[in-house]
Amino acid sequence: MTSRGGKRMGAGRPKGTNHYGEPTKPVRIPVSKIDRVLRFVREREDMVPLYGNEVPAGFPSPADDYAEGVLDLNTHLVREPTATFFVRARGDSMIGAGIHDGDLLVVDRSLEATNGKVVIVSINGELTVKRLRQAKGRTWLVPENPDYPPIDFQEQDDTHLWGVVTNVVHSL
């Protein structure tokens, strides 16, 4: 009935006992995206643990602290969001570069297409992926499959270099 607590050292909820372990700030979000944003911040939706070759001690629960070794695929694979697009690979002409039929290619238009890079080129209205080779003042689009011949490349009306392939996503 009378007072029990009172002013004293250590009373009250300690700092840092919030849901995230760090301070928060209100940020104005468009209503249609509030759900996505809350899922992202609350459930670490796209932060997935990354292991090396050692056996993980146990599978971390979402409540655990992924202080290190977490990976967000968007940030990891898309460096320049506004200059990036995806293309689905067709055929097996680049099988030697690890590009299989149906793979998803991440293409960055902001990277310079230098000798040896794998590039996306449109020829006669069709997209194709090849390795760029510059030698003896000429440029070649070289498949990575002995069944296909290199293509003499010169940028013309019907030919355009779209960007450099940075990653290949292969589904099993």
Partner DNA sequence: TTTTTGAATAATGTAACAAGATTCAAAAAT
Partner DNA sequence: ATTTTTGAATCTTGTTACATTATTCAAAAA
Q: How far is CA 166 from CA 79, 105, 110, 129, in A?
A: 10, 8, 11, 12
93 a catalytic residue? yes
Residues 6+ apart with CB under 8 A from 43: 62
Half-sphere exposure of 38 (CA within 13 A, CB side): 8
> Cα-flanking dihedrals φ and ψ of residue 36, to 5°?
-60, -45
7 a catalytic residue? no
15 binds, among a copy of itself, DNA, none (CB under 5 to 8 A by kind): DNA
> Cα-flanking dihedrals φ and ψ of residue 72, to 5°?
-110, 120
Q: Which residues, 9 to 68, sit near DNA by CB under 7 A?
A: 9-20, 23-28
Per CB under 7 A, 81 contacts DNA: no
Nearest distance in Å: CB 7, DNA? 4
* Residue (31 or 67) nearer to DNA, CB: 31
Nearest distance in Å: CB 72, DNA? 22
Nearest distance in Å: CB 152, a copy of itself? 20
Question: Rounded CA gap, 106 and 85, in Å?
Answer: 6
* Residue (10 or 52) nearer to a copy of itself, CB: 52
* Residue (28 or 136) nearer to DNA, CB: 28
Give catalytic residue positions.
Answer: 93, 130
